[in-house]
Amino acid sequence: MKSKIYALYNDNDRPLGVYTRNELKELLNMNEKTFVCEMWRIKKGKRDGIYYKGQHYKVFIYEEEEW
């Protein structure tokens, strides 16, 4: 099974942090449906990032194998 890690960087390439799925949902105060929709838009290139506290952040999604 693969788990996803989400890394957020501002426009100056300074990291906000690295989060698991649930941590990022809590940080952004999103429900499951909204979170899935937003991540789909980012993955498909419809959006290039998200806004958090008025600041734009690029979202990079990394997948890692669980052993």
Considering only CA atoms, which of 46, 54, 4 is closest in space to residue 25? 4
pLDDT-above-70 percentage for the chain:
96
Average pLDDT of the chain, as a whole number: 91
pLDDT-above-90 percentage for the chain:
81
Entry pTM? 0.82
Please state, in angstroms and rounded to a whole number, the distance separating the CA atoms of residues 29 and 35. 9
Q: What's the rounded mean pLDDT across residues 18-30?
A: 95
In this structure, are residues 30 and 40 in contact, taking their beta carbons and an 8 Å threshold? no
pLDDT at 3 over 80: yes
- Summarize the chain as % helix, strand, coil (round to 5): 30, 45, 25
Please state, in angstroms and rounded to a whole number, the distance separating the CA atoms of residues 13 and 66. 28
